[in-house]
Amino acid sequence: MKLNVKAFALTCGTVWGLGLFFLTWWIIAFDGSGTSPMLLGRIYRGYSLSPIGSVVGLVWAFFDGLIGGALFAWLYNRFAGSQRTT
């Protein structure tokens, strides 16, 4: 079985981007927005626990998931195609 690289990449990007967006709002709702530096703030430039930071994180995470999903699907198709079933 082969994966559709474009569909898998788009799905990964959407899930990762929206997941980070909603997780940020979840933390804001229960702990309040903060200015303390986070690990994701060091990876994704401009990301913070704030409403604007959640949108910045959504964009960064979407493209991160898009690239990661495309790479995973491409590698999967590459190695799955070389396996022969008997």
Please report the pLDDT score of residue 50 as a whole number. Answer: 87
Mean pLDDT by 10 residues, the chain (86 residues): 94 96 90 70 86 93 97 94 64
- Which structure tokens are listed for 2? 């082969």
How big is the chain by its Cα radius of gyration, in Å? 17
Neighbours of 70 (CB within 10 A): 17
Please report the pLDDT score of residue 74 as a whole number. Answer: 95
Please report the pLDDT score of residue 34 as a whole number. Answer: 66
